[in-house]
């Protein structure tokens, strides 16, 4: 892969450089609650701008359905990028339409523009090669060079991640290079015991990686939304908790295999359960009860791991040599359900293990709960991406940057 420094050595002055970033930041009422992903790609953008490139930054945000949706606009992220750079950042209100074309054409050397959410165009995420390719062709008209630096999205076979670099001279950005450098250590020379903590809400994505992890980790601690599919597979009532019913057989198979191979697959023993999902806007006090994992009432959903589970998981982390954690174990955005996630973060900080926290929300949780980023070995901007990298999979966004 060509590095950003090699690209700069070739000269980028006056060239339009398309930077595929991951600016998928958490928003509350249009306000960014954690700008970590923007800060993470800032060095690449700065280097290019300082070298006189006309920088076109592109990203997705959330999961809009292939059409413009103001709730998923990248405008707040563009504004924040401008503040961080201390420069005017132009914003195009579409991705490949007249606004994008005019905005890019108006760039002068060293200036930066952000184009609107790539997923406002159905071609970005299409499973159809031709449809994705047609969108990539349009994106390619906006640039002379491509820099891949959206680590959080490298596991997605999307137009801007996979198809576009095939159409332009390309290089790898500084963030992806750093991320891959650290994660490589977890595949090449992992120190044991190796503990993986999995939580979050992207349940089907994450259940898929457990297959491989069972062959790699010594202990797998399950929390967050995915825990309930496991508890259900054990025969427990999970009420109205997140449940992936179509995955129950697969999960049963995981539990069988874990037992056979001696991998500790650890599930919550108690949870905080409520009839209502909490109000994340007002953060009004939640009404919940702490129940054993086999006693979740039929009208309630599990929203955090309980105190016994926090203690159990901390003890499973305490003697680890390596810990990888992806996915908050509860709805940490509400203070009443942040305790489990805080306990996991604290256990990582207290252990002498090499610790990696991965994922947009996991990284945001660590920071918004007040932990010092330096207390962790590495905070990765990608959750799904780092999990799939650790699985040993070929990631479309990395493969596309080779050659
Ligand atoms: N029990 C639960 N029920 C519903 N949502 C949950 C639960 N536990 C965690 N979550 C949610 O999971 C989200 C993060 O999931 P995910 O995107 O998979 O993590 P990451 O971005 O770190 O990879 C958070 O917004 C959190 O509120
Ligand atoms: O937030 C992201 O991934 P993550 O939650 O796995 O860290 C990335 O921006 C990818 O988003 P996607 O999972 O909607 O493709």
Q: What ipTM was predicted for this assembly?
A: 0.96
Range list of β-strands (E), 152-261: 170-172, 194-198, 219-222
User: What is the H or E stretch that residue 370 is in?
Assistant: none
pLDDT > 80? residue 403: no
Question: How much of the chain exceeds pLDDT 90, in percent?
Answer: 94
Residue pLDDT, tens place only, 284-300: 999 999 999 999 999 99
pLDDT band at 112 (very low <50, low <70, confident <90, very high): very high
Q: Choose, from 80, 202, 342, 367, the residue flagged as catalytic.
A: 202
Q: Tell me, yes or no, if 150 is annotated catalytic.
A: no
Which has the minimum average pLDDT: 137-151, 180-194, 238-252, 258-272?
Answer: 180-194
Task: List pocket residues of ligand 1, CB cut-off 6 Å.
Answer: 199-202, 224-225, 242, 302-303, 326-328, 330-333, 359-362, 383
Q: Which residues are annotated as a binding site for substrate?
A: 22-24, 37, 60-63, 119, 156
Q: Tell me, yes or no, if 330 is annotated catalytic.
A: no
* Atom number of ligand 2 nearest to Cα 360: 7
pLDDT > 80? residue 157: yes
What's the rounded mean pLDDT across residues 152-176? Answer: 98
Measured from the Cβ of residue 67, the count of other Cβ atoms closer than 10 Å reads: 9
Residues 6+ apart with CB under 8 A from 201: 224, 225, 242, 327, 361
- Residue 266 CA to ligand 2 center (angstroms) comes to 25
DSSP letters of 280-322? TTT-PPP--EEEETT---TT-EEEEE-HHHHHHHHHHHHT-SE
Residue 363, pLDDT score: 95
Q: Tell me, yes or no, if 283 is annotated catalytic.
A: no
Residue pLDDT, tens place only, 67-80: 999 999 999 999 99
Name the residue with the closest Cα to ligand 2, atom 1. Answer: 360
Q: Choose, from 339, 340, 384, 397, the residue flagged as catalytic.
A: 384
pLDDT band at 100 (very low <50, low <70, confident <90, very high): very high
Residue pLDDT, tens place only, 352-387: 999 999 999 999 999 999 999 999 999 999 999 999
Residue 187, pLDDT score: 87
Residue 269, pLDDT score: 98
Residue 208, pLDDT score: 85
- Residue 330 CA to ligand 1 center (angstroms) comes to 7
Q: In what order do the strands lie in the sheet with 270-274?
A: 289-292, 270-274, 301-305
User: What value does the mean pLDDT of the chain take?
Assistant: 96
Q: Which residues are annotated as a binding site for ATP?
A: 206, 302, 333, 359-362
Residue 29, pLDDT score: 87
Q: Tell me, yes or no, if 339 is annotated catalytic.
A: no
Task: List pocket residues of ligand 2, CB cut-off 6 Å.
Answer: 22, 24, 63, 152-153, 156, 202, 359-361, 382-384
Structure tokens at 36: 């970590």
- Residue 304 CA to ligand 1 center (angstroms) comes to 10
What's the rounded mean pLDDT across residues 250-255? Answer: 96
Name the residue with the closest Cα to ligand 2, atom 11. Answer: 153
Residue 242, pLDDT score: 96
Residue 20, pLDDT score: 98
pLDDT band at 82 (very low <50, low <70, confident <90, very high): very high
Residue 67, pLDDT score: 97
Residue pLDDT, tens place only, 178-226: 999 999 988 888 999 999 999 999 998 898 899 889 999 999 999 999 9
What's the rounded mean pLDDT across residues 11-18? Answer: 98
- Residue 136 CA to ligand 1 center (angstroms) comes to 31
Q: How far apart are the first and last CA of the chain?
A: 6
- Per the listing, tokens 């992220």 go with 77
- Among 176, 360, 364, residue to substitute to test ligand 2 (most atoms within 8 Å of Cβ): 360
């Amino acid at each position: 892969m060509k590095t950003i420094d090699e690209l700069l050595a070739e000269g980028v002055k006056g060239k339009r450089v398309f930077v595929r970033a991951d600016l998928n930041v958490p928003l509350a009422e249009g306000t960014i609650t954690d700008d970590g992903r923007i800060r993470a790609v800032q060095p690449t953008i700065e280097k290019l701008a300082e070298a006189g490139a006309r920088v076109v930054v592109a990203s997705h945000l959330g999961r809009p359905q292939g059409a413009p949706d103001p709730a998923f606009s990248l405008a707040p992220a563009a504004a924040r990028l401008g503040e961080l750079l201390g420069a005017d950042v132009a914003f195009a209100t579409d991705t490949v339409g007249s606004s994008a074309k005019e905005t890019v054409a108006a760039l002068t050397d060293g200036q930066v523009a952000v184009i609107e959410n790539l997923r406002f165009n159905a071609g970005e995420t299409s499973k159809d090669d031709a449809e994705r390719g047609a969108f990539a062709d349009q994106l390619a008209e906006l640039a002379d060079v491509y820099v891949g630096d959206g680590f959080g999205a490298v596991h997605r076979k999307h137009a801007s991640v996979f198809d576009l670099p095939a159409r332009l001279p390309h290089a790898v950005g500084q963030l992806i290079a750093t991320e891959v450098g650290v994660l490589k250590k977890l595949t090449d020379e992992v120190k044991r015991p190796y503990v993986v903590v999995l939580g979050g809400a992207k349940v089907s994505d994450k259940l898929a990686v457990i297959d491989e992890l069972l062959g790699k980790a010594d202990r797998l601690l399950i929390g967050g939304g995915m825990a309930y599919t496991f508890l259900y597979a054990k025969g427990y009532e999970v009420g109205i908790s997140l449940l992936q019913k179509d995955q129950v057989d697969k999960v049963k198979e995981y539990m069988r295999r874990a037992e056979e191979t001696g991998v500790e697959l650890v599930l919550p023993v108690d949870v905080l359960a409520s009839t209502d999902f909490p109000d994340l806007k007002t953060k009004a006090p939640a009404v919940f009860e702490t129940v054993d994992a086999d006693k979740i009432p039929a009208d309630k959903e599990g929203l955090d791991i309980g105190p016994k589970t926090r203690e159990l998981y901390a003890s499973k982390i305490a003697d680890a040599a390596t810990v990888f954690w992806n996915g908050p174990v509860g709805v940490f955005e509400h203070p009443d359900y942040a305790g489990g996630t805080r306990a996991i973060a604290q256990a990582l900080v207290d252990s002498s293990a090499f610790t990696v926290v991965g994922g947009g929300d996991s990284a945001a949780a660590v920071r918004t709960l007040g932990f010092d980023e330096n207390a962790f070995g590495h905070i990765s901007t990608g959750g799904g991406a780092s999990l799939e990298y650790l699985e040993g999979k070929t990631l479309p966004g990395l493969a596309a940057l080779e050659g």
